[in-house]
A and B are shown apart, each in its own frame.
Chain A
Amino acid sequence: DIVMTQSPDSLAVSLGERATINCKSSQSVLYSSNNKNNLGWYQQKPGQPPKLLIYWASTRESGVPDRFSGSGSGTDFTLTISSLQAEDVAVYYCQQYYSTPYTFGQGTKLEIK
């Protein structure tokens, strides 16, 4: 199984400041046939289902504010929120869909400092 490890487990950032969440996979999630990283980022607020933010590691989902961006390739990935807003308080998860089981990271809780 591919193990997904996020860091940090929790993060407190001031409003308007940058937030960075890292995700590392135990093996590459890059499909060489199409050069796509099979990695997604999700935001989950209390009592709500996860919401897709980023797919293929760096493509922003429609309707997601452009302050959210994803980067990385192979085994190391980053979700960046360029200017934190109050509504961004949530738990963030990365997930690989390269091979089953489609494992998630343990989650990063983002709060306002």
Chain B
Amino acid sequence: EVQLVESGGGLVQPGGSLRLSCAASGFTFSNHWMHWVRQAPGKGLVWVSRINSDGISTNDADSVKGRFTISRDNAKNTLYLQMNSLRAEDTAVYYCASTYLRPFDLWGRGTLVTVSS
């Protein structure tokens, strides 16, 4: 089965760090661009970051630039999001998504990150 499964979310204090993971299965992970998209409670979808298939090229939203780093380990079929200097406004469900066959056609179920003291 083709799927993405996020993990690593939880409660963290403002200024803290967290690393999210997204495990891919059922497809050749190393062939596909990957993204992180987040959704604050009761709010809309916000694109966060993307990484190309070999991990060389990345792009980030201005709101996370310099604080979040997207990366991937193609040998482990895993996407990461290292989140530093976390703020209350980073509280959200974080989804990983892929352009599997079509743009943004494959999504994980998300992992909740709560930034609070």
Contact = CB atoms under 8 A, between A and B. Distances in A.
B90 to A, nearest CB: 16
A104 B45 contact: yes
B107 A107 contact: no
A48 B108 CA distance: 9
Interface in B46-61: 46-47, 50, 59, 61
Interface string B19-35: 00000000000000001
Given A40-B103, A52-B102, A104 B47 contact: yes
Contacts of B95: 49-50
Nearest to A91: B44
Contacts of B59: 100-101
Q: How large is the interface on B (under 10, 10 to 19, 20 to 34, 35 or more residues)?
A: 10 to 19
Contacts of A56: 103
Interface of B: 35, 37, 44-47, 50, 59, 61-62, 95, 102-105, 107-110
Given A44-B45, A107-B44, 13 more contacts: A38-B103, A40-B103, A40-B104, A49-B107, A50-B45, A51-B107, A52-B102, A52-B105, A56-B103, A100-B50, A101-B61, A106-B44, A107-B45
Interface of A: 38, 40, 42, 44, 48-52, 55-56, 59, 61, 93, 95, 97, 100-107
